[in-house]
Amino acid sequence: MNQAILFNDDASFNATQQRIEFTAMNSGLIIRCCVAFEGEEATALAHFAEHQFDYEMQAEALIEEESYSAEGEVLLSRV
């Protein structure tokens, strides 16, 4: 695991965009990580809690590859 990438404990559900969002820090830069998720907030956050490690590993790999969207976000595949 890359020690320069830290994940914050701030997962939230964006109902407007239907996605789970959380942030990572890489050398002081805050990076928003997003997972498309249709459904209710409680279901989305329970899903994230169950698969948090998988999402963090996926995000870490994409951050290391500098695979950012046009908005500077990391877009993750749902597990």
* CATH at 28: 3.30.160.140
Work out the percent of the chain whose per-residue pLDDT is above 70.
96
Counting Cα atoms < 13 Å in the Cβ hemisphere of 59 gives 28
25 within some domain: yes
4 within some domain: yes
What per-residue confidence (pLDDT) applies to 2? 56
Asked whether the predicted pLDDT for residue 5 surpasses 90, the reply is yes
pTM: 0.93
54 within some domain: no
> What is the span of the domain harbouring residue 12?
1-37+68-74
What is the identity of the amino acid at 15?
Answer: A
What average pLDDT does the segment 14-30 reach?
Answer: 96
33 within some domain: yes
15 within some domain: yes
47 within some domain: no
Asked whether the predicted pLDDT for residue 3 surpasses 90, the reply is no
- Which structure tokens are listed for 17? 């965009």
The total domain count for the chain is: 1
- Which structure tokens are listed for 39? 């459904």
27 within some domain: yes
Asked whether the predicted pLDDT for residue 1 surpasses 60, the reply is no
Asked whether the predicted pLDDT for residue 58 surpasses 60, the reply is yes
> What is the Cα 9 distance to its own chain's centre?
11
